[in-house]
Amino acid sequence: MSVSRRTLVLVVGGVLLALVPPVAALTSQPFYLDLVRRMMIFAIAAVSLDLILGYGGMVSFGHAAYLGIGAYAVGIPAFHGVENGMIQWGLAIVASALVALVIGAISLRTSGVAFIMITLAFAQMLYYLGISLETYGGDNGLRLAARSRFGGPIDLRQPAVFYYLVLALLVLLLALGSRLVGSRFGMVIRAARSNEARARAIGFSPFRYKLTAFTIAGAAGGLAGALLANQTEYLTPDFMHWTRSGEIMFMVILGGMGTLFGPVIGAVALLLLEDVLSALTEHWQIILGPILILVVLFAKRGLWGLLVGPEAADG
């Protein structure tokens, strides 16, 4: 049986990610473990954005809001001495989902530019809310005294353990996501993206399906935020700044909108470019910009499409 290009890319990608901790340990380069873990955390955020952006056609320009909520859901309890990971991460997911539900319920009544602007405005409101939280550091942010604590072998102070936990969560999200986009629910949001008038005419009321998708994406974004706070052991309102939302959106577009694995590649590529280019010059964004433009213009399904070819559309 011949192996498809898609399967090959996925297997190689998975093996490479799994090999990072031993290789980093052997070569005494812990920095790479840290970098790739950061990439995977952003990959989780980007995949969650792609669920609504790529599959649902909802151009949410405020996805960093959930990163911030997730991070504060770890930081604030920790500040008050609650270091239990189940509580912190559970809070991150639930709070992000609730906020997404509210933002979605309002913004999904609009579309097009208005939708983009409303989601952006909500995220900026939360950003300024973060700045106003003097108790929790205001715009200086908050140092995390300790990473989230879980029982047993899950000790996030061990870099490799934390790494594999992030990898497992990413794989879990991709697995759930691939079921979701092919399910009845997934077909409805994709149909509404493709042609909303037609979706309504055959009897779908797209609003509640879109709102559900928006909420799910917010919850997953909140989880990424909880992970990010643990990654940096520090959190600031900058997690929610609109440029951060733009960065996550770049990851989705660079990797391939409307593909499940594309945003993972997009997150890896963008952070890698950032790392490499910023070492070369302080004005690295001047180089990054044209690269993004070229990808948008010439790669229909982003980097994932370039790697995988015509099968890219299947996720």
Partner 1 sequence: MAEILLAVRGLSRRFGGLLASDAIDLDVACGETHAIIGPNGAGKTTLIGQLAGDLRPDSGSIRFADQDVTRLDAPLRARRGLARSFQVTSIFRDFTALDNVALAVQAHAGRSFRFWRPARTEPTLREPARAALESVGLGARADVRAASLAHGEQRQLEIAMALATEPRLLLLDEPVAGMGPEESQRMIRFLATLKGRRTIVLVEHDMDAVFTLADRISVMVYGRIIATGAPAEIRGNEDVRRAYLGEDQA
Q: What angle do CA 258, 230, 28 make, to 5 degrees?
A: 95
Q: What residue type is 177 in one-letter code?
A: G
Check: CB of residue 227 under 8 Å from CB of residue 18: no
Among 7, 110, 135, 183, binds partner 1 (CB under 8 A): 183
CB of 191 to partner 1, least distance (A): 5
**Region near partner 1 per CB under 8 A, out of 39-47, 113-121, 181-189, 279-287:** 181-189
Give the residue from 32, 31, 68, 66 showing the smallest Cα distance to 49.
66
* DSSP output for 41-106: HHHHHHHHHHHHHTTT----S-THHHHHHHHHHHHHHHHTT--BHHHHHHHHHHHHHHHHHHHHHH
Structure tokens at 89: 């991460």
Alpha-carbon distance of 98 to 96, in angstroms, equals 5
CB of 262 to partner 1, least distance (A): 16
Closest to partner 1 by CB, 3 vs 197, is 197
Q: Which residues pair with 234 in a beta bridge?
A: 143
Among 79, 164, 185, 284, binds partner 1 (CB under 8 A): 185
Alpha-carbon distance of 217 to 231, in angstroms, equals 21
CB of 236 to partner 1, least distance (A): 35
**Region near partner 1 per CB under 8 A, out of 2-10, 83-91, 166-174, 204-212:** 204-212
Q: Is 191 in the site for partner 1 (CB under 8 A)?
A: yes
Q: Is 285 in the site for partner 1 (CB under 8 A)?
A: no
CB of 67 to partner 1, least distance (A): 24
Q: Is 188 in the site for partner 1 (CB under 8 A)?
A: yes
Check: CB of residue 242 under 8 Å from CB of residue 62: yes
Element (H, E) at 142: strand 142-143
Phi-psi region of 85 (alpha: psi -120 to 50; beta: other; left: phi over 0): alpha
Instruction: Give the burial class of 105: count Cβ atoms within 10 A of its Cβ; 0-12 exposed, 13-18 middle, 19 or more buried.
Output: middle
Closest to partner 1 by CB, 1 vs 197, is 197
Q: What residue type is 244 in one-letter code?
A: R
Among 194, 285, 293, 310, binds partner 1 (CB under 8 A): 194
Q: Is 187 in the site for partner 1 (CB under 8 A)?
A: yes
Among 61, 89, 209, 250, binds partner 1 (CB under 8 A): 209
CB of 208 to partner 1, least distance (A): 8
Closest to partner 1 by CB, 157 vs 198, is 198
Q: Is 200 in the site for partner 1 (CB under 8 A)?
A: yes
With contacts defined by CB under 8 A, how many residues of the chain interact with partner 1? 24
Closest to partner 1 by CB, 54 vs 237, is 54
CB neighbourhood size of 3 (10 A): 8
CB of 180 to partner 1, least distance (A): 5
Q: Is 111 in the site for partner 1 (CB under 8 A)?
A: no
Three-state secondary-structure class, residue 149? strand
Q: Is 283 in the site for partner 1 (CB under 8 A)?
A: no
Closest to partner 1 by CB, 57 vs 130, is 57
Residues that bind partner 1 (CB under 8 A): 179-180, 182-188, 190-191, 194-195, 197-205, 209, 212
